[in-house]
Amino acid sequence: MSGQGANESTEAVWSAVDDYLTGHLLPDDPVLAATLEASTAAGLPPIAVSAAQGQMLHLFALMLGARRILEIGTLGGYSTLFLARALPADGRLVTLEAMPHHAEVAAANFKRAGLDHKIDLRVAPAIETLPKLEAEGAGPFDLVFIDADKPSNTDYLRWALRLTRPGGIIICDNVVRNGAVLDGASADASVQGVRRFFDALSAETGVTATAIQTVGAKGYDGFAMIRVCAA
Protein backbone atom coordinates (compact mmCIF):
# COMPACT_ATOMS: atom_id res chain seq x y z
CA MET A 1 0.00 0.00 0.00
CA SER A 2 2.68 2.51 0.88
CA GLY A 3 3.45 5.04 -1.79
CA GLN A 4 0.48 3.82 -3.80
CA GLY A 5 -1.14 7.23 -3.99
CA ALA A 6 -4.65 8.24 -4.89
CA ASN A 7 -6.07 8.08 -8.39
CA GLU A 8 -6.12 11.10 -10.65
CA SER A 9 -9.74 12.02 -10.06
CA THR A 10 -9.22 11.96 -6.30
CA GLU A 11 -6.22 14.27 -6.67
CA ALA A 12 -8.30 16.57 -8.89
CA VAL A 13 -10.89 16.81 -6.11
CA TRP A 14 -8.21 17.65 -3.52
CA SER A 15 -6.93 20.39 -5.78
CA ALA A 16 -10.40 21.76 -6.56
CA VAL A 17 -11.26 21.83 -2.84
CA ASP A 18 -8.01 23.73 -2.21
CA ASP A 19 -9.11 26.26 -4.85
CA TYR A 20 -12.53 26.51 -3.19
CA LEU A 21 -11.06 27.04 0.28
CA THR A 22 -8.36 29.49 -0.72
CA GLY A 23 -10.90 31.31 -2.94
CA HIS A 24 -12.97 31.95 0.16
CA LEU A 25 -10.29 32.48 2.77
CA LEU A 26 -7.24 34.03 1.12
CA PRO A 27 -7.43 37.45 -0.47
CA ASP A 28 -6.31 37.84 -4.08
CA ASP A 29 -2.63 38.47 -3.79
CA PRO A 30 -0.78 39.92 -6.79
CA VAL A 31 2.57 39.84 -4.97
CA LEU A 32 2.36 36.14 -4.16
CA ALA A 33 1.06 35.40 -7.67
CA ALA A 34 3.99 37.31 -9.16
CA THR A 35 6.35 35.36 -6.89
CA LEU A 36 5.12 32.04 -8.30
CA GLU A 37 5.10 33.39 -11.88
CA ALA A 38 8.69 34.60 -11.60
CA SER A 39 9.73 31.28 -10.06
CA THR A 40 8.12 29.29 -12.88
CA ALA A 41 9.54 31.62 -15.54
CA ALA A 42 13.02 31.12 -14.08
CA GLY A 43 12.66 27.34 -14.32
CA LEU A 44 12.36 26.61 -10.61
CA PRO A 45 10.57 23.33 -9.79
CA PRO A 46 6.89 23.68 -8.77
CA ILE A 47 7.42 22.43 -5.23
CA ALA A 48 6.61 25.48 -3.10
CA VAL A 49 4.00 25.02 -0.40
CA SER A 50 0.42 25.49 -1.56
CA ALA A 51 -1.36 28.77 -0.82
CA ALA A 52 -3.40 27.10 1.92
CA GLN A 53 -0.24 25.65 3.46
CA GLY A 54 1.57 28.97 3.21
CA GLN A 55 -1.31 30.63 5.01
CA MET A 56 -1.07 27.95 7.69
CA LEU A 57 2.59 28.88 8.20
CA HIS A 58 1.56 32.54 8.36
CA LEU A 59 -1.03 31.72 11.03
CA PHE A 60 1.48 29.70 13.07
CA ALA A 61 3.87 32.65 13.05
CA LEU A 62 1.05 34.99 14.11
CA MET A 63 -0.11 32.60 16.86
CA LEU A 64 3.43 32.46 18.22
CA GLY A 65 3.94 36.20 17.93
CA ALA A 66 7.14 35.21 16.15
CA ARG A 67 9.87 37.86 15.93
CA ARG A 68 12.69 35.59 14.78
CA ILE A 69 12.05 32.96 12.12
CA LEU A 70 14.46 30.52 10.45
CA GLU A 71 13.66 28.78 7.18
CA ILE A 72 15.81 25.99 5.71
CA GLY A 73 15.09 25.74 1.96
CA THR A 74 14.05 28.99 0.22
CA LEU A 75 13.41 28.07 -3.44
CA GLY A 76 11.73 31.21 -4.90
CA GLY A 77 10.74 32.49 -1.47
CA TYR A 78 7.00 31.74 -1.63
CA SER A 79 6.79 30.16 1.84
CA THR A 80 9.26 32.80 3.04
CA LEU A 81 6.83 35.60 2.19
CA PHE A 82 3.94 33.99 4.08
CA LEU A 83 6.20 33.72 7.12
CA ALA A 84 7.83 37.15 6.80
CA ARG A 85 4.46 38.88 6.49
CA ALA A 86 3.61 37.70 10.00
CA LEU A 87 6.60 39.49 11.52
CA PRO A 88 6.31 42.72 13.51
CA ALA A 89 8.17 45.82 12.30
CA ASP A 90 11.40 44.80 14.04
CA GLY A 91 11.05 41.08 13.20
CA ARG A 92 13.64 39.18 11.15
CA LEU A 93 13.64 36.02 9.07
CA VAL A 94 16.76 34.10 8.04
CA THR A 95 16.31 31.77 5.06
CA LEU A 96 18.91 29.28 3.82
CA GLU A 97 19.32 28.26 0.17
CA ALA A 98 22.10 26.23 -1.45
CA MET A 99 21.41 27.08 -5.11
CA PRO A 100 22.49 30.55 -6.27
CA HIS A 101 19.91 30.60 -9.07
CA HIS A 102 17.06 29.89 -6.64
CA ALA A 103 18.41 32.55 -4.30
CA GLU A 104 18.55 35.15 -7.10
CA VAL A 105 14.91 34.54 -7.95
CA ALA A 106 13.97 34.66 -4.27
CA ALA A 107 15.87 37.91 -3.69
CA ALA A 108 13.96 39.59 -6.54
CA ASN A 109 10.69 38.26 -5.10
CA PHE A 110 11.52 39.65 -1.64
CA LYS A 111 12.29 43.05 -3.14
CA ARG A 112 9.03 43.12 -5.12
CA ALA A 113 7.16 42.24 -1.93
CA GLY A 114 8.87 45.10 -0.07
CA LEU A 115 10.14 42.65 2.54
CA ASP A 116 13.82 42.41 1.66
CA HIS A 117 14.74 44.55 4.69
CA LYS A 118 13.34 41.86 7.00
CA ILE A 119 14.77 38.83 5.21
CA ASP A 120 18.36 37.65 5.51
CA LEU A 121 18.96 35.22 2.62
CA ARG A 122 22.08 33.08 3.04
CA VAL A 123 23.33 31.29 -0.06
CA ALA A 124 25.25 28.13 0.90
CA PRO A 125 24.49 24.57 1.93
CA ALA A 126 22.43 24.92 5.09
CA ILE A 127 24.71 22.62 7.03
CA GLU A 128 27.47 25.24 6.59
CA THR A 129 25.30 28.21 7.53
CA LEU A 130 23.65 26.73 10.62
CA PRO A 131 26.80 26.66 12.80
CA LYS A 132 27.56 30.21 11.64
CA LEU A 133 24.13 31.35 12.78
CA GLU A 134 24.81 29.86 16.19
CA ALA A 135 28.25 31.50 16.38
CA GLU A 136 26.75 34.86 15.38
CA GLY A 137 24.04 34.57 18.00
CA ALA A 138 21.40 34.93 15.25
CA GLY A 139 18.92 32.93 17.31
CA PRO A 140 17.18 31.87 19.31
CA PHE A 141 14.29 31.51 16.87
CA ASP A 142 10.60 31.41 17.71
CA LEU A 143 9.78 29.36 14.62
CA VAL A 144 11.85 27.15 12.32
CA PHE A 145 10.55 25.79 9.00
CA ILE A 146 12.52 22.83 7.62
CA ASP A 147 11.93 22.36 3.88
CA ALA A 148 15.20 21.60 2.06
CA ASP A 149 16.99 18.35 1.08
CA LYS A 150 15.14 15.58 2.89
CA PRO A 151 18.16 13.27 3.46
CA SER A 152 19.52 15.98 5.80
CA ASN A 153 16.31 16.32 7.82
CA THR A 154 17.81 14.80 10.96
CA ASP A 155 20.76 17.21 10.87
CA TYR A 156 18.34 20.10 10.40
CA LEU A 157 16.21 18.84 13.28
CA ARG A 158 19.28 18.80 15.56
CA TRP A 159 20.23 22.34 14.57
CA ALA A 160 16.65 23.53 14.88
CA LEU A 161 16.48 22.13 18.39
CA ARG A 162 19.68 24.03 19.30
CA LEU A 163 18.49 27.26 17.75
CA THR A 164 14.85 27.35 18.88
CA ARG A 165 13.83 29.13 22.08
CA PRO A 166 12.00 27.19 24.80
CA GLY A 167 8.35 27.22 23.77
CA GLY A 168 9.29 27.74 20.13
CA ILE A 169 8.01 25.63 17.25
CA ILE A 170 9.71 23.61 14.52
CA ILE A 171 7.70 22.66 11.41
CA CYS A 172 9.01 20.14 8.88
CA ASP A 173 7.45 19.77 5.42
CA ASN A 174 6.97 16.66 3.28
CA VAL A 175 7.04 14.01 5.97
CA VAL A 176 4.44 11.65 4.45
CA ARG A 177 5.36 11.64 0.77
CA ASN A 178 2.27 9.98 -0.64
CA GLY A 179 2.45 7.35 2.08
CA ALA A 180 5.96 6.25 1.11
CA VAL A 181 7.14 7.07 4.64
CA LEU A 182 5.86 3.59 5.58
CA ASP A 183 8.32 1.85 3.28
CA GLY A 184 11.42 0.93 5.25
CA ALA A 185 12.89 -0.74 2.17
CA SER A 186 12.47 2.36 -0.01
CA ALA A 187 15.34 3.16 -2.36
CA ASP A 188 14.32 6.85 -2.23
CA ALA A 189 16.89 8.79 -0.19
CA SER A 190 14.24 11.36 0.72
CA VAL A 191 11.98 8.67 2.19
CA GLN A 192 14.88 7.27 4.19
CA GLY A 193 15.72 10.80 5.32
CA VAL A 194 12.20 11.32 6.61
CA ARG A 195 12.25 7.94 8.36
CA ARG A 196 15.55 8.78 10.11
CA PHE A 197 14.01 12.13 11.10
CA PHE A 198 11.07 10.37 12.81
CA ASP A 199 13.43 7.90 14.52
CA ALA A 200 15.48 10.80 15.89
CA LEU A 201 12.39 12.76 16.87
CA SER A 202 10.84 9.80 18.69
CA ALA A 203 14.03 9.47 20.77
CA GLU A 204 14.04 13.16 21.65
CA THR A 205 13.03 14.16 25.16
CA GLY A 206 11.96 17.70 25.88
CA VAL A 207 9.66 18.07 22.92
CA THR A 208 5.95 17.75 22.27
CA ALA A 209 5.41 16.62 18.71
CA THR A 210 2.90 15.39 16.17
CA ALA A 211 2.57 15.06 12.43
CA ILE A 212 -0.50 15.78 10.34
CA GLN A 213 -1.24 14.22 6.98
CA THR A 214 -2.43 16.63 4.31
CA VAL A 215 -4.12 16.44 0.91
CA GLY A 216 -4.63 19.31 -1.50
CA ALA A 217 -3.06 21.05 -4.45
CA LYS A 218 0.26 19.38 -3.59
CA GLY A 219 -1.16 15.85 -3.42
CA TYR A 220 -0.84 13.70 -0.31
CA ASP A 221 1.88 14.67 2.14
CA GLY A 222 2.23 16.01 5.67
CA PHE A 223 3.85 18.29 8.20
CA ALA A 224 5.64 17.41 11.43
CA MET A 225 5.21 19.94 14.24
CA ILE A 226 7.42 20.11 17.28
CA ARG A 227 7.25 22.31 20.35
CA VAL A 228 10.50 22.70 22.21
CA CYS A 229 9.64 22.36 25.87
CA ALA A 230 10.00 25.34 28.12
CA ALA A 231 11.85 23.45 30.88
Residues that bind ligand SAH (CB under 6 A): 47-49, 73-75, 78-79, 96-99, 102, 125-126, 147-149, 152
In the bound state with ligand SAH, the residue whose beta carbon lies nearer, of 159 and 198, is 159
Q: How far apart are CA 83 and CA 196, in angstroms?
A: 27
Q: Is 153 in the site for ligand DHB (CB under 6 A)?
A: no
Smallest separation, CB 174 to ligand DHB (Å): 5
In the bound state with ligand DHB, the residue whose beta carbon lies nearer, of 33 and 189, is 189
In the bound state with ligand DHB, the residue whose beta carbon lies nearer, of 71 and 147, is 147
Q: Could you say which residues in the range 150-179 bind Mg ion, by CB under 5 A?
A: 173-174
Distance of CA 152 to the CA centre of its chain: 14
Smallest separation, CB 206 to ligand DHB (Å): 27
| Backbone phi, psi, residue 2, to 5° | -65, 140
Phi-psi category of 177—alpha, beta or left, where left has phi over 0 and alpha has psi -120 to 50?
left
Contacts of 169 (CB under 8 A, 6+ apart): 60, 64, 142, 143, 144, 225, 226, 227, 228
Q: Is 173 in the site for ligand DHB (CB under 6 A)?
A: yes
Q: Is 147 in the site for Mg ion (CB under 5 A)?
A: yes
Smallest separation, CB 49 to ligand DHB (Å): 6
Q: Is 97 in the site for Mg ion (CB under 5 A)?
A: no
Contact 93, 120 (CB under 8 A): yes
What mask, x for binding ligand DHB by CB under 6 A, covers residues 55 to 94?
Answer: ----------------------------------------
Nearest by Cα to 160 from 84, 45, 69, 93: 69
Interacting stretch for Mg ion, rule CB under 5 A, among 5-13, 119-127, 143-151, 198-206? 143-151
When CB distances are held under 5 to 8 angstroms depending on the partner's kind, the choice from ligand SAH, Mg ion, ligand DHB, none that residue 153 binds is none
In the bound state with ligand DHB, the residue whose beta carbon lies nearer, of 91 and 217, is 217
Kindly give the pairing relationship between strand 219-228 and strand 207-216: antiparallel
Per CB under 5 A, residues contacting Mg ion are 147, 173-174
Per CB under 6 A, residues contacting ligand DHB are 47, 147, 173-174
